Structure 1
């Protein structure tokens, strides 16, 4: 028992050193967070302006009227002042979209819109779609995953409300990218603590992980399902945990796990549970040694 306690205390010292390093990193992160908060405040200000602005169909967003770009330019060439005002408004709108992770540029037959995704300041990936300037507008090609309801969103919003179309599509894409990132982090960082690989579906709105946790003197195997019923969110809407042991102490621990997974990103929740278990074991052995 004493040998085991020494091992745990040695492990605790390693954790303490790591904690000091993390404190130095946290100071740098604190400064970065201040900058991020300033940028987010600016982004929110621009979002508010976007919400107050009634966006017109996509043709007018890029200052084009008519069936195609050439026709639009011909119709506007005798009204340069109106065109300049529209261009200025368009640039402001696209700049605001850019700060929210959405940007656009003109292409020969329409506009190319790109949507970037990120998780808590970590850039993940971007998606694009090329929209043809027809009546109504049509998506020509894209790299949006097939399980994102793009066709449905296109029919409902693209021609009538570009702002809403982009906002909802961005929510879907960012939530999916964040769920997938969490699953990847769980597998890469904590795969050794899992029984078998992490299970997930293509949309990553169902994650299943099997692992052990220690309750008092016993190891309990847990099967946890993280369910994301709202696919525009990256936190689960429900957490189901199955165990064979129905004792009161185990059920109490299960509630802790459920709360942790509901409130934190999956990989951070799992890490917090492991740290809590390590600390509990150290306290237990110290009490036993005394």
Structure 2
């Protein structure tokens, strides 16, 4: 009897323990079900939002194609037509801004049914737009320059290898743009020297404008001065080296000429010549 009673007590305790465990599991299950329902609700809302965006995108694409063909086949009486037209224009501007970010300041036109690109590289100096150079780039089978009007003394092949046209076209265009802008800047300075300073004789220059030799007429009683500017960094329009020579060595040791030497390294040459005339060290 005692054994049977013990078994009954043990069985009752086991049943109570099982019920307790059941009560602990149920809240977890309820929490899990609640979490799944919330996730389903969020996914459903995301699906509906994506459907709406797809429908809007289709309408915008239709409007953009109409705008590109300059046709008016939309229902002008639709109260949403003007809003959709503005949205389409907004998308066009976003695309243009994105393309501009990719290629920087360069104008880009597709050629050969999208198989090539024509890139325009404008140049300027002191805020004045000067020459524009063009590159036609084939996209297939590999990225390569097909045609261009870049001056032959610009090391195009070397720049292409240095910057990696195929892996980073923007880096190549930036590097080429710096060389072209520096070249036209040096050329403009040479032009200003000849036009604005007739008393200065240009004894030597080259096509790349990377070397400029001038003879300065000195005031009465002074010896003429020979000035050589070297532009070894072809991506800059300021010289990397200045050499001044004269038969009067004491003249070059003066503080005025030492100041001029520093100015020529930091300031465009035609502007330095104006300063030199004001200092009355050249005529």
TM-score scaled by structure 1? Answer: 0.59
1:166 lines up with 2:173 in the alignment: yes
Quote the Cα distance in structure 2 between the aligned partners of 1:187 and 1:97.
Answer: 40
Structure-to-structure mapping, 1:12-27, within 5 angstroms: none
Structure 1 portions without partners, runs of 5+: 1-86, 282-290
Name the residue aligned to 1:78. Answer: none
Name the residue aligned to 2:250. Answer: 247
For the Cα contact (< 8 Å) 2:245–2:252, is it kept in 1? no
> RMSD of aligned C-alpha atoms?
2.6
Structure 2 portions without partners, runs of 5+: 1-91
Mark the CA change 1:163 to 1:249 in structure 2 (over 3 Å): closer, same or farther. Answer: closer
Structure-to-structure mapping, 1:35-54, within 5 angstroms: none
TM-score scaled by structure 2? Answer: 0.61
For the Cα contact (< 8 Å) 1:115–1:128, is it kept in 2? yes
SS in 1 for 2:222: strand
Name the residue aligned to 2:192. Answer: 185
Residue of structure 2 aligned with 1:107, choices 101, 107, 111: 111
For the Cα contact (< 8 Å) 1:183–1:198, is it kept in 2? no
Mark the CA change 1:111 to 1:89 in structure 2 (over 3 Å): closer, same or farther. Answer: farther
Q: What is the deviation of 1:155?
A: 3.4
Determine which structure has greater relative contact order: mean sequence separation of CA pairs < 8 Å that are 6+ residues apart, divided by chain length: 1
1:155 lines up with 2:158 in the alignment: no
* 241-250 or 133-142: bigger deviation: 241-250
Name the residue aligned to 2:141. Answer: 135
Q: What is the deviation of 1:248?
A: 5.9
SS in 2 for 1:277: coil
Mark the CA change 1:213 to 1:204 in structure 2 (over 3 Å): closer, same or farther. Answer: same
Quote the Cα distance in structure 1 between the aligned partners of 2:254 and 2:248.
Answer: 8
SS in 1 for 2:180: helix
For the Cα contact (< 8 Å) 2:251–2:257, is it kept in 1? no
* Matched length: 190
Task: Give the greater-gyration-radius structure (CA).
Answer: 2
Residue of structure 2 aligned with 1:92, choices 86, 97, 101: 97
